[in-house]
Structure 1
Amino acid sequence: MCGISAIFALQDGAENRSGQTPHDQLAAPGNNHSREQLEQQMQASLKQIKHRGPDHSGVWISEDSKAVLGHSRLAINDLSSSGNQPFHSPDGSVHAVVNGELYDFEELKRNLLDTTGYHFTSNSDSEVVVALYQAYGRDFVQHLRGEFAICLYDESNDLFIAARDRYGIKPLFWTVSKQRLLVGAEIKAFIPLDWQAEWDVKSIIEAGWNFDDRTLFKGVKKVRPGYYLTCDSFGTIKHHQYWDMEFPEKTVPDPRSEQELIQSVRDRLVEAVRIRLRADVPVGVYLSGGIDSSVIAGIVTHLVKEQSLTMGSLPPTDRVSCFSVAFEKSSGFDESDVAERSSEFLGVKQYKQIMDEEAFASRFEEATWHCEHHVPDLNYIGKFALSELPQKHGFKVVLTGEGADETMTGYGVYLPDVVREPDLTWPGAMPEDERKRVFATSEEQTKEYYRSIGAEFRMSEGQRKLNNISTLASMAAFIPDVFDPSTAALHAQDPQNVIANDVSSPVLEKMQEKWHPINTALYVWTKGHLPNQFMSALGDRTEMAHSIEGRTPFLDHHLTEYVNTIPPSLKMRWKGGDEFTSKWILREACKEFVTPEIYERAKHPYSAPTSYETDGPLHKLLGTLITEENVRQLGFVSWDVASTLLERAFVQKEALAARLAFVVAQWVVLARRFGIKTAKI
């Protein structure tokens, strides 16, 4: 994993052709900087994201000064200087910087050597990108397996390409500023590049930053997962989808047996884990009390003990190292004792990060700066602190369990959509009268849950578009009621409609006519929450803040494409009465790798406490952030509401008020660190 930054000069008026609003004025041509100025700007940009790659920084500038590529390296494969980036083709026409990990790269290199005779200069996985591009053109992304963000410049065709992996595991942002296309692994990389941060208030109110390609910042967008962006010599910016999720038709019975499906999931997951153990540095595992990380730890231990595989560069005799976070026992959120029992069962080494209230408070601002967006749960600070552990013990790579809930149907909020319609792909899985009864009960329980936390459960136009799924309400449930009345002038959409409107017409047709409702729910959740919040705040951003590369076997597309074909009834399985087993297919496939306790254990979402002491470390910290001056400086938050949050959160112990207080405080931190002026509505 690394940090990347890129500049591509645009011709006059290109901002309008790209669909961007030229919010910071039309200026001189994008390439009016001297080479020395470009070098200085890019080095400053890389310094902003040095945490992503502290081992080396490299800059390439085209002869005409039109294209600049920058790279901050975290050396994982080929630790020598030959693995430093940018990479260049033998003929000097193609240049690339790569952030991420590409698996099966050795096989790809062998095939390219046989078919094209490409001359490789390193043993780095990233160099294969340039060779693939020269062999297949823009279709090179189809051949990549792993998590990645790429910037590539084809000098002979004056073509710039920015690509992102299928699930958005690696971040990639872009904006147009002063007639230059800027692309970076993190938004903070734009600060030294003549870019001024502004709030995108409408995106914040609509939660567009969490559901579509927007961010919290005006004019800054994401390259979508499974897409690549192109910019040609005329400055026309286009977006191209190269991959999407697919599901079977809901009326066609599945001919496969349970055992075949179980074995196939096991084989694909074991393979996904195996290829992620390859590294020239030590590899560890994040281990919680849940089944997802426990399965990964179990498979890794199996491969090390039974097949003599190594954890990256560690000796074969070394025990597997696992890293866990522990909250205070009294919080009700601690699962460290379960993780300890798994560690004992597997015979692995376990390192633990203890999180008390002082630990949360001391990391609040820095963790928020790295995430670059708000999070209504302090779990991101727990993950931020957890990632200090492997760095402290000399590890650069960890395997993680993220993505299993989104592919294997792990969240309890999915239940109403699992039973919304009969599963005709697996006839007889549940009697029809029982399905109807459970659906009515689960739908009402879901509504009652949202009422209890102060969220509104309502039928919306967006919900009707998406085959009436109730998971939509879960995704849009947290709508901070803290906005200033003046924001009504923005005519913000209902977040549920934002989610639905972001789905393409061909996919909407499949949702309405062909897919089971739970597959619709999995699709929108995986396109929204997963890359925009979970893989950010609980993945890349909090890991890479400490130069830690997280690898996610559950999001290997060879595995997920198979899992998507499995009948809904085998992912969340009915046990009888009102009882269901989430991720049933995963539990059966990996039963041998985990303790009986983990196999039987119900899903416990990874969450941090919301109740903290009056006048404790967090209360005092938020008191310095949520002040009238700071809140009014934001320009879009009501001080009348914000002024009540600390009392409600820390004295009256209102969980919703605590989450709102966290969010407002995070906006204040981001405003300070990015130098954001007061929003103008």
Structure 2
Amino acid sequence: MCGITCILSLSGPNSSQHANGSLNGAPKEPDTGLAKVKKELDASMAQIKHRGPDSCGDWISDDCRVALGHVRLSINDLNPSGSQPFNAPSQGIHAVVNGEFYDYDRIRAELEKDTDYHFTSRSDSEIVIALYLQHGLNFVEHLRGEFACVLWDERRELFVAVRDRYGIKPLFWTVQPDPAKAGGRRLLVAAEMKAFLPLGWEPQWDVRSLKDAGWNHDTRTLFQGVQKLRAGHYLTCQSFGHIEERPYWDSSYPDKRTIDPRTPEELIEGVRQRMLESVRLRLRADVPVGVYLSGGIDSSVIAGMVTHLVKEQNVSMGSAPADERVTCFSIAFEEDSGFDESSIANRTAEWLGVKYIKKLMNEEELAKRFEDAVWHCEQHNADLNFIGKYALSEVPQEAGYKVVLTGEGADEIFAGYPLFLPDYLREPDMAWEKHNPLTEDGRLANLHSAEEADQEHYRSIGAQASTGELSIARRMLNGISTVASMTAFQPDVFADWTEKEHTACDPQMTIASNPDGVARHHINKNWHTLHSALYVWSKGHLPNIFLTCLGDRTEMAHSIEARTPFLDHKLTEYVNHLPPSTKLRWLPGEERFVEKWILREASKPFITNELYERKKHPYSAPTKYPRDGPMHQLISRLITRDTVAELGFVSWEKVAGLVDAAFGEKGEAKALRLALVVAEWVVLGRRFGVQAAAPVRC
């Protein structure tokens, strides 16, 4: 796992940039242009050094129009030969990679047999150059893992930036003025937005993105002109000018009318074998590998399968000997908070016979990490769970580990969230009627109660998810209610001028417009409504919150590479094409629905009966904090009339009473969530040096 930062000039050739040339025929100071670009690149890499503290490297073209920077977290091939950028000078190819490619030993062996490419390292990352030389832009089809990479082809003058299929690894891009040429522009690409700061970027709030949730549900961010490369897409820039983004992969689901003839036993075994393969591939490393372990089923499945592979098949935990105990990491909240699951994790660790290391997180510890965690996430979050994940990543770092396996993605693939139930019940599962114990009368009877339960949940946290009259956005997505649930919490604290300037902001429409037309056709004509809900969720909340604030950004803040077996695309392609009733299943004897049914069945040999039978409990941090405690003091310091004025787009009248309402015995859940968001905006505004937003003057 690493960090990348890249610069591509979009201007015509400029002789003043050439490192060894001259200006209008007159001699110039040696390497003037090169020195400027290198200084910029070094400063940019320094901003993201936490992603790769072991070494850094760069490649800058002779004319200084292309610059690739890389900070390295050494995991595969610990020798200097594994340092990046990777270069194939005779072919004019240069590349930097953030992330991991799996099954690369097999891919490399095939390339060595079929091509004359000479590998210079044992790093998994180097295969991108050989694959590109062999397959052109089709090289992305052969990559398996979590990654973001950039490649420059000198001969074709082609710049390529690629992001993995689920957006596990971040990649941002923006076009900014070129300081070396008046009126010129340049493309900047980096793993984190803070890497743009030394490159002349001056961040400005994107108020429309904040109001219509574009930062969460499409390619926008909190800042104007900075975009995320979509998951499963690559961006190209041809001949220093034409920028284009295209998909290379997308989730797909079966036609809801097609009968699936497979038996439950076949499908359970199919999931089990693919899960084991995915976990096994992610144990490959030249450093020891650990596991995150909570009280939930997802991380416990990973820990159980890892233990099975180590004990029964002599698979090593990275470079750790096969006879060494599996090591798991966890955090514990205070027992009386109602959010502590460490006792369950303790019992799981004892049952598996693994080494278990945990850290206690109390209110003071959460408050202490708040501002740094926000800076690393580069966006707001209405739940303090991201600070818990930030703290969790300290645990393996302190134990000397660089790599952990984690359970993110299971809920999105196997339908683990309660909000998916109404959309599962919205249509019958015609594909698996033979094996589905839920009758048609039972489906209709449960649909209304499921929608009521969904509403009640959001009322309990101070939000509102309307499932009444269908909006245009819901009609665009075949009536699924998940779109309403995804927008249940919106920070209604904006200044009045934003209402006049941004009159058409509609978060539900943002979600409905995010899938392309082909996907919306399948949603309305071919896919079961549960699968449509899973698709929509996986394009918004999954990459933009769960894999960000609860994934890469809080992990890499501590130089920890987290690997996500549940999001292996070979596994997800199989699971996506299972009938809906294998994911959400009616248990007639207990008269209830069980989420992730097929995952539970497939993983039963590897987990305790307690976890097999346990209902879903979303990961969250405590939501009640006393007046005058560390959290109250922190938020009171961050939210004042002056700090709100620094934002420009927030109304002081709307937030003046938030802090008082959020803390104390009667602390309101919605007030706390709103206060956290505003406080996080204040932190980001100050750390990024963002000027106050103001109305556009015509």
Q: For this structure pair, what is the TM-score category when the shorter chain's length is used for normalisation?
A: over 0.9
1:635 — aligned with what?
648
Give the C-alpha shift of residue 444 in structure 1. Answer: 2.1
Taking a change above 3 Å as real, the CA distance of residues 51 and 33 of structure 1, as seen in their structure-2 partners, is same
1:675 — aligned with what?
689
Give the C-alpha shift of residue 236 in structure 1. Answer: 1.1
SS in structure 2 at match of 1:148: strand
The answer on whether the counterparts of 1:467 and 1:512 sit within 8 Å (CA) in structure 2 is yes
Q: Equivalents in 2 of 1:492, 1:324: separation in Å?
A: 44
Give the C-alpha shift of residue 90 in structure 1. Answer: 5.0
Give the C-alpha shift of residue 451 in structure 1. Answer: 3.4
The answer on whether the counterparts of 1:90 and 1:119 sit within 8 Å (CA) in structure 2 is no
1:57 — aligned with what?
56
Deviates more, 1:501-510 or 1:140-149: 501-510
1:292 — aligned with what?
298
Name stretches of at least 5 consecutive residues in structure 2 with no aligned partner.
14-30, 178-184
2:312 is aligned with 1:306: yes
Give the C-alpha shift of residue 452 in structure 1. Answer: 3.8
Q: Equivalents in 2 of 1:532, 1:85: separation in Å?
A: 27
- Which runs of structure 2 are paired with 1:343-362 in the superposition (5 Å)? 343-362=349-368
1:160 — aligned with what?
159
Q: Which string of whole-angstrom CA distances, capped at 9 and with x for unpartnered residues, describes residues 528-578 of structure 1?
A: 100001000011000000000000000000000000011111111001375
- Which runs of structure 2 are paired with 1:621-660 in the superposition (5 Å)? 621-651=634-664, 652-660=666-674
2:615 is aligned with 1:609: no
Name stretches of at least 5 consecutive residues in structure 1 with no aligned partner.
14-31
Letter in 1 for 2:445: R
2:422 is aligned with 1:409: no
Q: Equivalents in 2 of 1:374, 1:153: separation in Å?
A: 34
Q: Equivalents in 1 of 2:116, 2:309: separation in Å?
A: 34
2:666 is aligned with 1:662: no
2:222 is aligned with 1:223: no
Taking a change above 3 Å as real, the CA distance of residues 444 and 77 of structure 1, as seen in their structure-2 partners, is same
The answer on whether the counterparts of 2:465 and 2:487 sit within 8 Å (CA) in structure 1 is no
The answer on whether the counterparts of 2:413 and 2:575 sit within 8 Å (CA) in structure 1 is yes
Residue 575 (structure 1) aligned to one of 577, 581, 587: 587
Residue 363 (structure 1) aligned to one of 364, 369, 374: 369
The answer on whether the counterparts of 2:290 and 2:329 sit within 8 Å (CA) in structure 1 is yes
Letter in 1 for 2:487: A
SS in structure 2 at match of 1:238: strand
SS in structure 1 at match of 2:160: strand
Q: Which string of whole-angstrom CA distances, capped at 9 and with x for unpartnered residues, describes residues 244-272 of structure 1?
A: 00000011110111100000000000000
Q: Equivalents in 2 of 1:175, 1:578: separation in Å?
A: 53
Give the C-alpha shift of residue 92 in structure 1. Answer: 4.7
Q: Equivalents in 1 of 2:455, 2:595: separation in Å?
A: 20
SS in structure 1 at match of 2:161: strand
1:190 — aligned with what?
196
Letter in 1 for 2:606: F
Letter in 1 for 2:371: E
SS in structure 1 at match of 2:331: strand
Q: Equivalents in 2 of 1:555, 1:177: separation in Å?
A: 34
2:329 is aligned with 1:323: yes
* TM-score of the superposed pair, with normalisation by structure 2: 0.94
Letter in 2 for 1:350: Y
The answer on whether the counterparts of 2:8 and 2:240 sit within 8 Å (CA) in structure 1 is no
2:274 is aligned with 1:264: no
1:94 — aligned with what?
93
- Which runs of structure 2 are paired with 1:503-518 in the superposition (5 Å)? 503-518=515-530
SS in structure 2 at match of 1:598: helix
Q: Equivalents in 1 of 2:305, 2:611: separation in Å?
A: 14
Q: Equivalents in 2 of 1:94, 1:518: separation in Å?
A: 44
Q: Which string of whole-angstrom CA distances, capped at 9 and with x for unpartnered residues, describes residues 377-408 of structure 1?
A: 00000000000010101100000000000000
Give the C-alpha shift of residue 446 in structure 1. Answer: 1.6
2:22 — aligned with what?
none
SS in structure 1 at match of 2:155: coil
SS in structure 1 at match of 2:94: strand
2:42 — aligned with what?
43
Q: Equivalents in 1 of 2:323, 2:387: separation in Å?
A: 34
1:532 — aligned with what?
544
Deviates more, 1:247-256 or 1:484-493: 484-493
SS in structure 1 at match of 2:656: helix
Letter in 2 for 1:454: G
1:124 — aligned with what?
123
Q: Equivalents in 2 of 1:222, 1:594: separation in Å?
A: 37
Letter in 2 for 1:657: A
The answer on whether the counterparts of 1:45 and 1:193 sit within 8 Å (CA) in structure 2 is yes
Q: Equivalents in 2 of 1:578, 1:501: separation in Å?
A: 37
Q: Equivalents in 2 of 1:106, 1:453: separation in Å?
A: 49
Q: Which string of whole-angstrom CA distances, capped at 9 and with x for unpartnered residues, describes residues 323-369 of structure 1?
A: 01111111101100000000000000001011100011000000000
Q: Equivalents in 2 of 1:33, 1:500: separation in Å?
A: 50
The answer on whether the counterparts of 1:438 and 1:578 sit within 8 Å (CA) in structure 2 is no
Residue 562 (structure 2) aligned to one of 550, 558, 568: 550
Q: Equivalents in 1 of 2:402, 2:608: separation in Å?
A: 28
Q: Equivalents in 2 of 1:353, 1:680: separation in Å?
A: 44
Give the C-alpha shift of residue 415 in structure 1. Answer: 0.4
1:27 — aligned with what?
none
Residue 375 (structure 1) aligned to one of 381, 390, 398: 381
2:446 is aligned with 1:432: no
Residue 456 (structure 2) aligned to one of 448, 451, 462: 448
Q: Equivalents in 1 of 2:326, 2:446: separation in Å?
A: 43
Taking a change above 3 Å as real, the CA distance of residues 51 and 234 of structure 1, as seen in their structure-2 partners, is closer
Deviates more, 1:383-392 or 1:226-235: 226-235
The answer on whether the counterparts of 2:3 and 2:52 sit within 8 Å (CA) in structure 1 is yes
1:176 — aligned with what?
175
2:531 — aligned with what?
519
Give the C-alpha shift of residue 11 in structure 1. Answer: 2.5
Q: Which string of whole-angstrom CA distances, capped at 9 and with x for unpartnered residues, describes residues 410-433 of structure 1?
A: 001100001111000111511111
Residue 280 (structure 1) aligned to one of 277, 286, 290: 286
Letter in 2 for 1:599: Y
The answer on whether the counterparts of 1:161 and 1:231 sit within 8 Å (CA) in structure 2 is yes
The answer on whether the counterparts of 2:389 and 2:555 sit within 8 Å (CA) in structure 1 is yes
Give the C-alpha shift of residue 100 in structure 1. Answer: 0.3
Letter in 2 for 1:590: S
2:481 is aligned with 1:470: yes
Deviates more, 1:477-486 or 1:552-561: 477-486
Letter in 1 for 2:474: Q
- Which runs of structure 2 are paired with 1:138-153 in the superposition (5 Å)? 138-153=137-152
Give the C-alpha shift of residue 317 in structure 1. Answer: 1.6
Deviates more, 1:592-601 or 1:490-499: 490-499
Q: Equivalents in 2 of 1:328, 1:451: separation in Å?
A: 26
Q: Which string of whole-angstrom CA distances, capped at 9 and with x for unpartnered residues, describes residues 121-174 of structure 1?
A: 000000000111111111110000000000110011111000000000000000
Letter in 2 for 1:237: I
The answer on whether the counterparts of 1:202 and 1:492 sit within 8 Å (CA) in structure 2 is no
The answer on whether the counterparts of 2:480 and 2:529 sit within 8 Å (CA) in structure 1 is yes
Residue 400 (structure 1) aligned to one of 400, 406, 412: 406
Structure 1 runs (4+) deviating above 2 angstroms are 447-459
2:632 — aligned with what?
619
State the Cα RMSD in Å: 1.2
Letter in 2 for 1:247: Y
2:10 — aligned with what?
10
SS in structure 1 at match of 2:152: strand
What is the count of residue pairs matched by the alignment? 663
SS in structure 2 at match of 1:127: helix
Query: % of aligned pairs identical?
Result: 59
SS in structure 2 at match of 1:68: strand
SS in structure 1 at match of 2:221: coil
The answer on whether the counterparts of 1:55 and 1:75 sit within 8 Å (CA) in structure 2 is yes
SS in structure 2 at match of 1:334: coil
Give the C-alpha shift of residue 445 in structure 1. Answer: 2.1
Give the C-alpha shift of residue 607 in structure 1. Answer: 0.4
Residue 207 (structure 2) aligned to one of 198, 201, 219: 201
Taking a change above 3 Å as real, the CA distance of residues 33 and 460 of structure 1, as seen in their structure-2 partners, is farther
